[in-house]
Every structure is written in C-alpha cells, then in structure tokens.
Structure 1
C-alpha cells in the first residue's frame, strides 16, 4: 500500500519573533515493512534547512533556522511511503517474558536499535513501582512475550480514557496513570514504563495512522494527528514488534513509523527555540491516505 502523507504545522506569534531554530523530525525512517518513496519539506516564510545528525534516536532530523523577524510560520511535510506489513502472529517458538528479560540483559548490541538502549529510565519515563505492579498481571514471567505485549496494550485500551484535554506533551507517565486518562503519548509511555520495569526493552514510536479506514472497519483513534505507540523487543529471533495501546492492536499496515526513541522528548516532530516576548499558538493538521483512494476521489 502506498500512502500519501501531508503534515502541516502553523505557528502564530503575538509579537514578531526575531530568530527561530527548530529540529524537524518529519521524514519517515527506514523500518521493517515500510519504504520511503519521496519526501519534501516547505517553509513559509523561507528558512534555512540543513540536515542534522540524530543523536539518541532513530530519526531523520532537519534543522530549520528562521533568521528574520516573523509573526507566522508554516511548515509542510509531504511524503509517499510504501507499507507492506501484516499483523504479527504468535509462534510456539516465542520466548516467555523471563527469557526476553534475560536475553536483553545479556545483549551486547549497543546500536541505535539494540535492546540495551531501551531497558532503563529515560528523560520522560521514570520506572514507577505503581505502574510496575499494575502491569505485573499481564507480564507474568512464564507468559509468551507476544501474548503479554498485546494483553497489556489491550488492558490499557480498556481501562484508560482517551481525553485530549487531560494532559499535555510534558505530562509524565505516573500522572497519566494515576488518573487513567490521556492521549496516545501518555498510553505509550505508561506501557513503556511498565515493560522496562519488568526488564523488557520498550521503545517509543512516533508516526501516523491512515486517516480513512477500509470499508466496514472502525476508524482508529489517533488519525488526523501524529500518533504514538510502543515497540517491544521480543528476543533476537523475532526482534521488535509494534503494539498500539491506544487502540489495543498490533502495528500493521495502517501504521507508518516516522521516528523511534526512548520517549517523546527525543523524537518530538518539532521542537526548538525562538527569541521573542509574546505568546505563540500552534495548529497541526495531518492527512494520511492510500494513493489509490486519492486517485478514485479525483
């Protein structure tokens, strides 16, 4: 399936901003099951775009500098991505939770996608005893890692309320967990905290869901915005599998990975600084649709 992605971000400043510098993580990465066909970034008014090196995450980072005073800024990212990824099926050969934890501790793979990088606390994900205890019901040491991963995701989907007004991008997992509400970022980071507390490597995936579902299927929560879910390391043979606690499903053909890190702070789609004295407002719109549907729609 080839998807067309359009991600538009608009900033409006109350007073002229004399200088702005942003990190843009909007270009999809190369990941299992997906191939980037093309990508384009446009900025109004014109800014200086340069490629930057990602440090602690799997991300394509572009540095944007606006050297002149502005009161508005529009950033548009467009891409075409081919996705061929089915729903993963459990296998009798899948290791149990205890075995995965043991193998993760023994791993010497310190590459960007090695399990060692995703075992411990990170800037936004502390290892909470309360979250660990709550997750223990699904993460029984003798349970298959695949069953445990989807079981925990579905429990979060059942017991947490999706409420876009309840949290913000700086909300910590412990707060979202205490109130049992939040958005995809919160649900992903709660799940990550629980998995890591039990020795299971877990990464934060940022990306998109298709805007319009196939006929007869329910629309997934998180479409029309940047979405977030979890990658769980399931041992050296199976590797990383994605699971979406907002919707209680596996990452499959409707998910497009943009960046992967230890938590949201490492791979926010846009972050940076500006020099100014007034407030700013930001609006984001995302549209993800299969090319064939766009062609049929004219």
Structure 2
C-alpha cells in the first residue's frame, strides 16, 4: 500500500513573534515494512530549515529558524510512504517474556533501536505501582511475548474509554490510568509503564494510522490525526513488534512510523522556543490517503520565500 500523507500545523500568535527555533520530527523514518518514497516540507511565510541530529530516539529532525517577525506560521509536511507489513502471528515457540527480559539485559547494542534503550523509566513514563499491578496478570514471565503483548493491548482497548476531552498532552500515565479515559498517547504510555515494570523493552511509536470511513460515506480530508502506539522488542528473530492499545490491534499495513523514542517528549512532531508576548493558537490537520502511485511532491525540503538555511 502507498500512502499520500499531508500533515499541516498552523500557529496563530496574538502578537508578532520576533524569533522562533523549532525541531520538526515530521519526516517518516525508515522502518521494517515501510519505505519513504518522497518527502517535501514547506514553511510559510518565512523560515530557514536544515537537517539536525536526533538527540534521542530514532527520528528525522529538521531545525526550523524563523528570524523575521511573523504573526502566523504554517508548516506543511507531505510524504509518500510504501507500507508492506504483515500481521504478526503468535506461535508456540515464541520467546517467553522471561527470555525477552534476559536477552534485552544482555545486549551490547547501544544504537537508537537497541532494546537496552527502552528498559527503564523515562521522564514522561515513570514507574507506577498501580499500573504495574494492573498489567501484571497479562505479563506472566512464562508466557509467549507476542501472545502477552496483544492480550495486554486488547485489555486496555476494552477497559479504557477514548475521550479526547479527558486528558492533555502533559497528562501523566497515572492520571489517565486513574480515570480510565484518554487518547492514544495515554493508552500507549500506560502500556509501556506496565511492560517496563515487568523488565521488558518497550518504546513509544509516533506516526499515522489510516482511518476508514463507514460504508458508503466519503473519507473526510483532514479528519485523520497523529497516532501513538507501542513497540515491544520480542527477541533477535522478531525484533520490534508494534501493538496498538487504542484499537486493540497489531501494527500492520495501516500504520506508518514517523519516529520512535522512550516517550512523547523525545519525539514530539514540533517543539522548540518562541520569543513573543502574545497568546498562541495551534491547529493541526492530518490526511492519510491510500493511492495507486506515489504522488509528485516537488522534491526536496524547502522553506517558502527564504529557501533553506
């Protein structure tokens, strides 16, 4: 499947912003089962963009500097991605959770996708005794890793309510867990909390999921959103396996990985520093459309008007 993805972020400021320096993590990474075919980044009305190093996790980072006063800023990201990923199938000879925990502790790999990077608490996903105890029944050390992972994801999907008004971007896993409500970010963080408490390497995946309209209805352009789910390292043979606790499903052909980190804070789509005195309003529109052929995206990243800096 080939996807044409458009992710537009608009900022409106109450007073002109004199300077902004932002990190953009909008360009999908190369990941097993997906290939980036084309990419374009445009910033209006002004800005300078340049590649930057990912300080943590796995991400394609672009540094954006706005050095002229602006009261409105639009960041328009377009990607063409081919996804060919099968649904994992748990088997009797899968490594157990005890095997996975041991292999992760013994690894000598220190790359951004090493399981050793994702064993321990992180700033936004601390250890939590209540979440650990709730997840424990699904995480028997003798259980197969894939079987246990999908069981926990489906239990979260059954017992938690999706409610976009219940939490904010900085809501802790403990707060969302206590009210049993939240959004994809909350459910991913709750699941990661439980997995890490059991000694298992679990990563936070940020990206997109194709949304299918009801039968007979047209797909709504711009109605999609960024999505978050969990990656569980399942041994050298399986590698990282994706689990989506919001929907109780595996990461498969409808998921597009943009970035991978220990938590949202490491791989937020847009963050940085803005110098200004007025209020800020942000609007995000995401559209994920399956297409027959890669769309023409006009080549390389650019910032409108001023070009790349």
TM-score (norm 2): 0.91
Change (3 A) 1:209 1:166: same
Q: Deviations over 1:255-284 (max 9, x none)?
A: 000000000000000011101111101000
- 2:113 paired with 1:108: no
Partners of 1:144 and 1:37 in 2: CA distance: 35
Corresponding residue for 1:189? 189
Tell me, which stretches of 5 or more residues in structure 2 are unaligned? Answer: 296-309
Q: Deviations over 1:239-262 (max 9, x none)?
A: 110000000000000000000000
Question: Contact (CA 8 Å) 1:59, 1:259: kept in 2 or not?
Answer: yes
Corresponding residue for 2:69? 69
Question: Contact (CA 8 Å) 2:96, 2:142: kept in 1 or not?
Answer: yes
Question: Contact (CA 8 Å) 1:212, 1:289: kept in 2 or not?
Answer: no
Corresponding residue for 1:278? 278
Provide the aligned length of Structure 1 versus Structure 2: 290
Higher relative contact order (CA 8 A, sep 6+): 2
Partner SS, residue 136 of structure 1: helix
- Cα deviation, residue 224, structure 1: 0.7
- Cα deviation, residue 294, structure 1: 10
Corresponding residue for 2:201? 201
- Cα deviation, residue 46, structure 1: 1.8
Change (3 A) 1:174 1:64: same
Partner SS, residue 62 of structure 2: strand
Partners of 1:174 and 1:132 in 2: CA distance: 11
- 2:151 paired with 1:148: no
Of 250-259 and 223-232, more deviation after overlay is shown by 223-232
Partners of 1:176 and 1:198 in 2: CA distance: 20
Corresponding residue for 1:165? 165
Partners of 2:277 and 2:50 in 1: CA distance: 27
Partners of 2:205 and 2:23 in 1: CA distance: 17
Partner SS, residue 137 of structure 1: helix
Of 69-78 and 95-104, more deviation after overlay is shown by 95-104
Corresponding residue for 1:7? 7
Partner SS, residue 120 of structure 1: coil
Corresponding residue for 1:139? 139
Partners of 1:248 and 1:107 in 2: CA distance: 30
TM-score (norm 1): 0.94
Partner SS, residue 102 of structure 2: helix
Partners of 2:82 and 2:184 in 1: CA distance: 24
Question: Contact (CA 8 Å) 2:119, 2:199: kept in 1 or not?
Answer: yes
- 2:86 paired with 1:86: yes
- Cα deviation, residue 93, structure 1: 2.0
Partners of 1:170 and 1:101 in 2: CA distance: 29
Partner SS, residue 138 of structure 2: coil
Please report the RMSD computed on the Cα atoms of aligned residues, expressed in angstroms: 1.7
Question: Contact (CA 8 Å) 2:22, 2:271: kept in 1 or not?
Answer: yes
Question: Contact (CA 8 Å) 1:157, 1:247: kept in 2 or not?
Answer: yes
Partners of 1:294 and 1:65 in 2: CA distance: 30
Partners of 1:292 and 1:130 in 2: CA distance: 47
Structure 1: which 4+ aligned runs deviate by more than 6 Å? none
Partners of 1:59 and 1:211 in 2: CA distance: 24
Partner SS, residue 92 of structure 1: coil
Tell me, which stretches of 5 or more residues in structure 1 are unaligned? Answer: none
Corresponding residue for 1:211? 211
Partners of 1:13 and 1:76 in 2: CA distance: 18
Corresponding residue for 2:268? 268
Q: Deviations over 1:77-133 (max 9, x none)?
A: 001000000111112221111111111111111111110000001110001111110
